Structure 1
Amino acid sequence: MTATTQPSLPPSHDAAVQQAESPAPPIMDRPKSLAATTALALGAVGVVYLAATHGVKQAGLFALGIGLGVALFHARFGFTSAWRQLVAVGQGRGLRAHTVLLGTTATLFAIIISTGIGFGGVVPEASVDPIGVGSMVGALLFGIGMQLGGGCASGVLYHVGSGQSATVITLVSFVVGSFAGTWRYDFWQETLPSFGSYSLAEDIGYGGALVVTLLVLAAIAGASLLVERRRTPPPVAPVPTAQGLARVVRGSWPMWAGGVVLAVLGALVLMTKGSAWGVTSAFALWGAKVAQALGMHPETWAYWQDPGNAADLNGALLDHSTTLNDLGIIVGAALAAAIGGQFVIQRRIPGRVVAAAILGGFLMGYGARLSFGCNIGAYLAGIASFSLSGWVWAVVALVGTWLGLKVRRRMGLATPAPGDGVC
């Protein structure tokens, strides 16, 4: 008897779908030794220098910034991409990572603020901002700008650290926009209608506010799953990754893991400096310092006459907590990118990309000043502090995301692939 060979059957539909949803990640490059050594040296020297000249607190804030940069890069934690994916194709993976970050941060903030736990006598304070026409205009501008500039506030910093030259242009324009937003700041915040501030924690206590916030976040995550089932978005493109324990050091991390790490580091920032992690107030300060060096007098503007802002403007940059966090993020992202073999400096930048980076950076900077912060200082810190302003910022910035995608097409720019998970 001769054996008969069964014809090979095509893969089942379920198997094909599963394969399509789980494409193999790209091969990871070798570590970039020179870039990694440089970033590590910068980080170590920075911590030692700050500890010796500005104190342990400032050194700690810089070190926490390095940790934030490592986590942002290794998790490719995107705010811009998460909202773009949601609006463009209904992909909710990034939004669900946001709910993990927000829920974990809110839990830690509730414990820290309600008990007053801080390092060195620091008293942590919640980030509760007023809601007004000016702040909503700012959130809308920020949402548009981050889709043009190729990243949010934290995303711009970690992109710069990983060698993306186009984002340096966005950062410079971001600084200019942030500084411009301090001019006539009183018009936006005092002349235009304002509806005051509201804290859920002040109404029902931190325990009750946390329960309500977690339930809302769970509902948002569930709704994102329902949207995915109806719209069947394409899978998120994988990024190069190591395997086993090496993945902890070289990446890439799951976004949910990045969200947890970012929440813990953000809580440590709160305990160290007494206020939530922010990004863009440093950009406004950098711009003001440069303006003074060029002979301008921003100190006469209402924004810089506020006692806290005036103290920052008259003080040294390395005494500014947010500046130290931001510089640390750049160094940490450079270190993570180099160890992961992903540190690559771009040499050619198309003209349209440059134009979008300039416009997007300016809109984000100006918008962040009007709305009391960015995706970190207004959105993350606001919601985690149980402030209604954080939720309003998120809704308005989401509308700005939709508008920003339309502006990209008007400028002849290709919309990033819906499956692209990078911020």
Structure 2
Amino acid sequence: MVTELASWVETYGTASVLAVGGAFIGVLFGFFAQRSRFCLRAAVIEFWHGKFGEKLSVWLLAFSSALILVQGLILLGWLDVSSARQLANRGSLSGALVGGLLFGVGMIMTRGCASRLLVLSANGNLRALLSGLVFAVTAQAALAGSLAPLRTEISGWWTVDGGAARDVLARVGAGNVDGLVFGLLWLVVAIIFSVRSGNRLWMWIGGLGTGLAVAAAWWFSYAVSQASFDAVQIQGLTFSGPSAEWLMRVLASPAPAFGFDAGMLPGVFVGSFIGALVGREFKVEGFKDGYSMARYIVGAMAMGFGSMLAGGCAVGAGMTGGAIFALTAWLTLLGMWAGAGLMDRVLAEPVHTAQPATQQAPVVVPVAP
């Protein structure tokens, strides 16, 4: 396969091959995520409500399958993630925790994480479309705009060196075999939950297919890096950086260079649109009132800033980074679960408005006929 990739790279160029591969993997992710209702927010809500059902089982199927496949590829010698930014670069533990908390809060307010918003946008959901645009603008502002100083300040509170210090397996004295076994254990849990909740066939296929797409992104970018004479960054699926990149591609000139992310994001949109057509689920939806619109916007802003602070979204940090056992990714995932659980509790609390002490109930005086 590497030989064929080398031939394609020589003929079409590294950037084009990366973009086409990213688009293909994006279509797979979008289709499987749409058909399985893959959503971290829904999984977190089920977990905190003590209902280990369909949504949680789908997320666990995707997460465990991504972890197993990535660790398996490493053991086979088909993938080397030592140069991936989640492991090689200096990381921020404070950024992971604070960013994860903010992202978790935001995804409850917007009723979906970054990837879910893109999937729902392709299904005709205008609330998700607006939230996705606000997410992209905020992410770009946090990356290189007005919010960048604040992100840099928080990131500097607590940092960790790259290399073994940022690798969970290395820190606990474990190896990739242990990582594979860990993934298999979670797969068993996912299967048990899936059987107990009576998952439909598409839930099984979509959950496993979503995890496959995450692993495929890691393998493909590594394979192209081995087939190309150009420097290629090893990477997986993520939505925060690509969203900001596409925003600048539309607004700025010259536009950012094409690569894996440039193809992946529209690929996910197309894949989800196809899934909606297959399931006859395409439906244009909007906001019901001004309050819900304001909530979605604030939530999208929290997610956009949180994702850049944490170094990734629910897929980019939680699944992609988690599959290679990056310490900051696992802390981000922990923050997301905690922040989402707290925000779900806040929104679920009924609002009681006390009557003024001087206000009395009206007195009804019967009138004689």
Instruction: Say whether the fold is shared (TM-score over 0.5).
Output: yes
Report how far residue 331 of structure 1 moved: 1.1
Residues 124 and 163 of structure 1: CA distance in aligned 2, closer, same or farther (over 3 Å) = farther
Residues 254 and 269 of structure 1: CA distance in aligned 2, closer, same or farther (over 3 Å) = same
Match of 1:94 among 55, 60, 78: 55
Report how far residue 96 of structure 1 moved: 2.9
Report how far residue 94 of structure 1 moved: 2.5
Question: Which position in structure 2 is the counterpart of 1:158?
Answer: 119
Amino acid at match of 2:118: L
Residues 160 and 355 of structure 1: CA distance in aligned 2, closer, same or farther (over 3 Å) = same
Q: State the alpha-carbon separation in 1 of the partners of residues 168 and 182 from structure 2.
A: 9
**What are structure 2's unaligned runs of at least 5 residues?**
1-11, 222-233, 352-369
Q: State the alpha-carbon separation in 1 of the partners of residues 192 and 100 from structure 2.
A: 23
* 1:229-257 CA-partner distances (Å, limit 9, x unpaired): xxxxxx89x9xxxxxxxxxxxxx744332
Whether 1:198 aligns to 2:157 is no
Report how far residue 347 of structure 1 moved: 4.9
Residues 144 and 116 of structure 1: CA distance in aligned 2, closer, same or farther (over 3 Å) = same
Q: State the alpha-carbon separation in 2 of the partners of residues 180 and 78 from structure 1.
A: 26
Amino acid at match of 2:220: T
Question: Which position in structure 2 is the counterpart of 1:136?
Answer: 97
Question: Which position in structure 2 is the counterpart of 1:231?
Answer: none
Question: Which position in structure 2 is the counterpart of 1:208?
Answer: 178
Is this contact kept in 1: 2:21–2:263, CA < 8 A? no
Question: Which position in structure 1 is the counterpart of 2:209?
Answer: 261
Whether 1:112 aligns to 2:51 is no
Residues 131 and 84 of structure 1: CA distance in aligned 2, closer, same or farther (over 3 Å) = same
Q: State the alpha-carbon separation in 2 of the partners of residues 264 and 221 from structure 1.
A: 15
Report how far residue 209 of structure 1 moved: 2.5
Residues 124 and 116 of structure 1: CA distance in aligned 2, closer, same or farther (over 3 Å) = farther
Whether 1:189 aligns to 2:155 is yes
Q: State the alpha-carbon separation in 2 of the partners of residues 122 and 105 from structure 1.
A: 14
Amino acid at match of 2:242: A
Match of 1:359 among 281, 298, 304: 298
Match of 1:276 among 226, 230, 236: 236
Is this contact kept in 1: 2:169–2:325, CA < 8 A? yes
Amino acid at match of 1:210: L
* 1:379-416 CA-partner distances (Å, limit 9, x unpaired): 1112211223333222221111122214434798xxxx
Amino acid at match of 1:103: S
Is this contact kept in 1: 2:95–2:154, CA < 8 A? yes
Is this contact kept in 2: 1:178–1:280, CA < 8 A? yes
Q: State the alpha-carbon separation in 1 of the partners of residues 16 and 94 from structure 2.
A: 40
Amino acid at match of 1:381: T
Is this contact kept in 1: 2:39–2:55, CA < 8 A? yes
Q: TM-score, normalised by structure 1?
A: 0.66
Mapping of 1:253-332 within 5 angstroms?
Answer: 253-273=201-221, 274-288=234-248, 292=252, 315-316=256-257, 319-332=258-271
Q: State the alpha-carbon separation in 1 of the partners of residues 47 and 94 from structure 2.
A: 26
Residues 58 and 222 of structure 1: CA distance in aligned 2, closer, same or farther (over 3 Å) = closer
**What are structure 1's unaligned runs of at least 5 residues?**
1-50, 229-234, 239-251, 294-312, 413-423
Partner-residue secondary structure (3-state), 1:401: helix
Whether 1:350 aligns to 2:289 is yes
Partner-residue secondary structure (3-state), 2:166: coil
Q: State the alpha-carbon separation in 1 of the partners of residues 100 and 239 from structure 2.
A: 15
Amino acid at match of 2:55: G
Partner-residue secondary structure (3-state), 1:331: helix
Q: State the alpha-carbon separation in 2 of the partners of residues 92 and 110 from structure 1.
A: 27
Q: TM-score, normalised by structure 2?
A: 0.75
Is this contact kept in 2: 1:127–1:382, CA < 8 A? yes
Question: Which position in structure 1 is the counterpart of 2:355?
Answer: none
Q: State the alpha-carbon separation in 1 of the partners of residues 310 and 265 from structure 2.
A: 19
Question: Which position in structure 1 is the counterpart of 2:20?
Answer: 59
Partner-residue secondary structure (3-state), 2:280: coil
Report how far residue 177 of structure 1 moved: 1.8
Partner-residue secondary structure (3-state), 1:204: coil
Residues 388 and 256 of structure 1: CA distance in aligned 2, closer, same or farther (over 3 Å) = farther
Q: State the alpha-carbon separation in 2 of the partners of residues 209 and 123 from structure 1.
A: 15
Residues 223 and 164 of structure 1: CA distance in aligned 2, closer, same or farther (over 3 Å) = same
Amino acid at match of 2:270: V
Is this contact kept in 2: 1:157–1:171, CA < 8 A? yes
Mapping of 1:25-36 within 5 angstroms?
Answer: none
Q: State the alpha-carbon separation in 2 of the partners of residues 222 and 109 from structure 1.
A: 19
Partner-residue secondary structure (3-state), 1:70: helix
Q: State the alpha-carbon separation in 2 of the partners of residues 339 and 254 from structure 1.
A: 12
Question: Which position in structure 2 is the counterpart of 1:177?
Answer: 138
* 1:286-322 CA-partner distances (Å, limit 9, x unpaired): 44556756xxxxxxxxxxxxxxxxxxx9633xx1322
Residues 314 and 332 of structure 1: CA distance in aligned 2, closer, same or farther (over 3 Å) = closer
Match of 1:370 among 287, 309, 312: 309
Amino acid at match of 1:134: G
* 1:107-126 CA-partner distances (Å, limit 9, x unpaired): 211132344426xx999848
Amino acid at match of 1:94: K
Whether 1:148 aligns to 2:112 is no
Is this contact kept in 2: 1:123–1:271, CA < 8 A? no
